[in-house]
Amino acid sequence: MKPTKKILIISYYWPPAGGPGVQRWLKFVKYLPDFNIEPHVYIPDNPTYPLLDEKLVSEVSDKAIIIKQPIFEPYGLASVFSKNKTKKISSGIIPNQKKQSFVEKAMLWIRGNVFIPDARVFWVNPSVKFLKKYLKEHQIDTIVTTGPPHSIHLIGLQLKKELNITWLADFRDPWTTIGYHKQLKLSSWAANKHKSLEKEVMNTCDQLIVTSPSTKTDFQMITSKPIEVITNGYDEEVVSKKPLDEKFTLAHIGSFLSARNPQILWKALRELTEENSEFNQQFQLKLIGAVSAEVLQSIKEFKLENHVNLLGYMPHNEAIIEQRSSQVLLLIEIDSEETKCIIPGKLFEYMVSERPIIAIGPENADFAQIIKETNTGTFFKYNEFDTLKKQISTCFEEFQQNNLKVNPVGLQQYSRKSLTEKLSKLLNSKF
């Protein structure tokens, strides 16, 4: 048997952080020991997480070696002025530009122009100093950095330069092409600095890992370094089973950002409630997670507020229970060229929930192909109003007949263990 390979994973998000950012490497770390890889995980000791899920702490592998070091985050100081606004911006919920307060505009400008690439940049130098010693003492020659926040990649960049170790840079989301990047009120100097750092990271690391084919295509315009697509996935989760909702529930799980506000959906639902009295009586919109004020306002403008069940943020395992008891699951992505590469992490949990997905997103969205190939739902572009409305109506008819279901195929390739095996082969074969 080969000796166990040690790797160091550098991540900002880790339990008790909640939200999608923590899931990817929490699950990789869970399964890496099955492939003869010993994970050392470096995380901040006192982070300012916008969302907390204490129950995820119990999912951390007892075979993982966790290392913590203090971090200074200016979000802690900013919260003195406006804790709620700071929390929203740090979690990615950026208010509509026309409705931003002076404090919000100032915070966004500082976020984009002062803290480059992000507000966790102050953790870079102390981490490099600590990890140089740690890597030598534990004879670790391979590191993985995962971002966002992309300042984590700067730790890898510096360690690569000083120790010439093997470095894999994992991009859960793009850097300068992600949707909210343009909303950071960047000066030309700051925009160039972001691009310069992005290019240096991509051309200095040994291997890039991305979560979608479109991101790989975009990154190939910046670097000739090898790029591997390893999507997010689902885990075999044992959760309490709850009967299907008695109402015809359309459920959205996760942050519902203002830029994702799907007018096409609200219009279809409004017309269906007006045209079909039974639909009007039975329909419920179930929202789990942070929902922007703009989305709630649109729902109200389309006179759907009486159909809303706003459950707010809940622990991951509770959200899964609600998800699996819903009649239909909604997946909404921003209608822009920049977001076609985004494959939301919740898609994979949706796919194993055995509930039909109705997805709305940009043309040529990567996740549309996955939904089609796995037979887990239906995808609509933002100009396909009539077919969207018809599909919701069809789902309602099947619900009334107690026949609303899906028949998925080929899901195993997206299991967390299968994806970790792919990662382990990458780690062992090339390095």
Give the pTM. 0.86
Which residue positions in the chain have pLDDT lower than 70? 1-3, 75-107, 109, 111-112, 178-185, 430-431
In-domain check, residue 142: yes
Query: Which CATH number covers residue 178?
Result: 3.40.50.2000
Here the tokens at position 139 are: 């004879």
**pLDDT of amino acid 246:** 97
Same domain, 151 and 264: no
**pLDDT of amino acid 131:** 98
In-domain check, residue 243: no
- Counting the structural domains of the chain, the total is 2
Same domain, 53 and 201: yes
> Which residues touch 225 (CB under 8 Å, ≥6 apart)?
202, 203, 205, 206, 207, 208
In-domain check, residue 188: yes
In-domain check, residue 90: yes
Output the DSSP codes for 270-329: HHHHHH-HHHHHHEEEEEES-B-HHHHHHHHHTT-GGGEEEEE---HHHHHHHHHH-SEE
Range of the domain at 298: 248-400
H or E segment to which residue 66 belongs: strand 65-69
Same domain, 279 and 207: no
In-domain check, residue 405: no
**pLDDT of amino acid 69:** 97
Helix, strand, or coil (residue 343): coil
Residues in the chain: 431
In-domain check, residue 406: no
Here the tokens at position 20 are: 């999608």
Q: For residues 213 and 230, what is the distance between their CA atoms, to the nearest angstrom? A: 9
Dihedral Cα 358, 250, 242, 231, nearest 10 deg: 30
User: Taken in order 52, 58, 61, 64, is the CA torsion positive or negative?
Assistant: positive
Same domain, 204 and 115: yes
In-domain check, residue 275: yes
- From the number of C-beta atoms within 10 Å of its C-beta (0-12, 13-18, 19+), residue 350 rates as buried
Same domain, 91 and 186: yes
Sheet containing 207-210, strands listed edge to edge, beginning at the edge strand earlier in sequence: 65-69, 37-44, 5-10, 142-147, 166-171, 207-210, 227-229
Backbone angles phi, psi at 171, to 5 degrees: -105, 100
Residue pair 151/173 in contact (Cβ under 8 Å)? The answer is no
Q: For residues 226 and 170, what is the distance between their CA atoms, to the nearest angstrom? A: 12
Q: For residues 243 and 325, what is the distance between their CA atoms, to the nearest angstrom? A: 6
Same domain, 66 and 90: yes
In-domain check, residue 20: yes
**pLDDT of amino acid 186:** 77
Same domain, 196 and 269: no
> Which residues touch 345 (CB under 8 Å, ≥6 apart)?
20, 23, 24, 232
Same domain, 36 and 118: yes
Same domain, 323 and 386: yes
The DSSP call for residue 43 is E
Residue pair 252/219 in contact (Cβ under 8 Å)? The answer is no
Same domain, 203 and 90: yes
Here the tokens at position 393 are: 């109506």
Helix, strand, or coil (residue 420): helix
Same domain, 189 and 304: no
State the distance between the two ends of the chain, measured CA to CA, in whole angstroms: 17
Residue pair 126/151 in contact (Cβ under 8 Å)? The answer is no
Give ∠ CA 140-145-147 in degrees, rounded to 5. Answer: 170
Same domain, 294 and 421: no
User: Taken in order 9, 12, 17, 22, is the CA torsion positive or negative?
Assistant: negative
